[in-house]
């Protein structure tokens, strides 16, 4: 990822690994990178919804959830 920071497949695999291991902070970082790298508005929207849910459910951070949802509008 250092060489190809926008490698969608690598980011997706990394997100799955962090999700499986419960590494929430790292998963947040990867989801943010996936949002930046996404080429489709639908993909960006879906990733933002997932990120918002992660902030709410795993971190209890309602402010971050709202910020992410606002960005999807």
Write down the pTM of the prediction. 0.85
Instruction: Assess contact for 14 and 1: CB atoms under 8 A.
Output: yes
d(CA 43, CA 24): 21
**Among the listed residues 51, 44, 42, 43, the one whose alpha carbon sits nearest the alpha carbon of residue 19:** 51
Q: What pLDDT is recorded for position 60?
A: 93
Q: What pLDDT is recorded for position 20?
A: 96
**Tens digits of residue pLDDT in 31-73:** 999 999 999 999 999 999 999 999 999 999 999 999 999 988 8
Both tokens of 70, joined, read 């606002």
Q: What pLDDT is recorded for position 4?
A: 65
Q: What pLDDT is recorded for position 2?
A: 57
């Amino acid at each position: 990822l250092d060489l190809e920071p926008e490698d969608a497949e690598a980011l997706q695999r990394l997100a799955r690994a962090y999700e499986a291991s419960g590494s929430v902070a790292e998963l947040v970082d990867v989801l943010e990178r996936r949002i930046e790298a996404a080429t489709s508005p639908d993909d960006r929207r879906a990733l933002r919804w997932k990120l918002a849910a992660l902030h709410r459910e795993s971190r209890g951070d309602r402010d971050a959830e709202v910020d992410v949802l606002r960005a999807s509008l």
